[in-house]
Amino acid sequence: MTRLSVNINKIATIRNARGGTNPNLVQVALDCERFGAQGITVHPRPDERHIRYQDVLDLHEVVTTEFNIEGNPDQRFIELVKRVKPAQVTLVPDAPDAITSNAGWDTIRHADHLRQLIDTFKADGIRVSIFVDADERMVDGAKAVGTDRIELYTEPYATHYAADREAAIAPFVRAAQRAQEAGLGLNAGHDLSLENLRFFAERVPALLEVSIGHALICDALYFGLENTIQLYRRCLE
């Protein structure tokens, strides 16, 4: 069964809009776990506009499911991850001013850089996943640099799902099959939602984990957090 990791960045965005500690990020993470989340994901950015680096340290003390830290591996990020030693680090090639992640790694062009990063994190016993587009060449490149997993960047799937879901899913199926052949673990994330998640999980082979934040938190405004997490879990069962 595919595991659900809840990205709580948007909770931090709401908190930061007013300052203080409301909503309390640590409590929300604990509630997500209690309501059925099988992991907690955070994406600290250099400007700390949502998740703060201190949040990562605080969450590390209490998260009992899988803790996944994702982000662009600048020096501060590397030092944070090595200090916390989460279950998984997901490397994302975000520009510092990016509103949200918008592309995967070119695993061929950046092979040497990625290989060094992966070796660094693996030396501390941290599972490494790298964010890639649904491109079989990028999957092959990911295998070559020694990552444990890849995370497929699913915004193109979500964007084209309503118009032609078969065409939208096709490159992701091919990429997943290539990952399976290469012995890579497979994660996915970005703009997955209650509308498109079930079809994705049914069609993409060997999908281990999805990381979902924005859509899940939006749905929680209407359905409540506990019910929403259960709705997403049902899409994956």
For every residue of 15-70, DSSP letters joined together read HHHH-TTSS-HHHHHHHHHHTT-SEEEE---TT-SSS-HHHHHHHHTT--SEEEEE
- What is the mean pLDDT, run by run of 10 residues, along the chain of 237 residues? 97 95 97 98 94 98 98 96 98 73 88 97 98 97 98 98 98 98 98 98 98 98 98 97
Q: Euclidean distance between the first and final Cα of the chain, in Å?
A: 6
What is residue 103's predicted lDDT score, i.e. its pLDDT?
A: 81
Q: Output the six-digit token pair for 40.
A: 């907690």
Question: Which residue in 225, 227, 182, 232 sits closest to 209, CA to CA?
Answer: 232
Q: What is the pLDDT of residue 96?
A: 63
Query: Quick one: how far is CA 27 from the chain centroid?
Result: 20
What's the number of domains the chain is made of? 1
What is this structure's pTM? 0.95
Structural domain harbouring 205? 3-236
Distances (CA, A) of 195 to 162, 165, 167, 192, 233: 9, 11, 16, 8, 13
Strands 207-212 and 127-132 come out as: unpaired
pLDDT of residue 205: 97
Q: What is the pLDDT of residue 94?
A: 77
Q: Catalytic residue numbers?
A: 43, 70, 190
User: Which CATH number is 154's domain given?
Assistant: 3.20.20.70
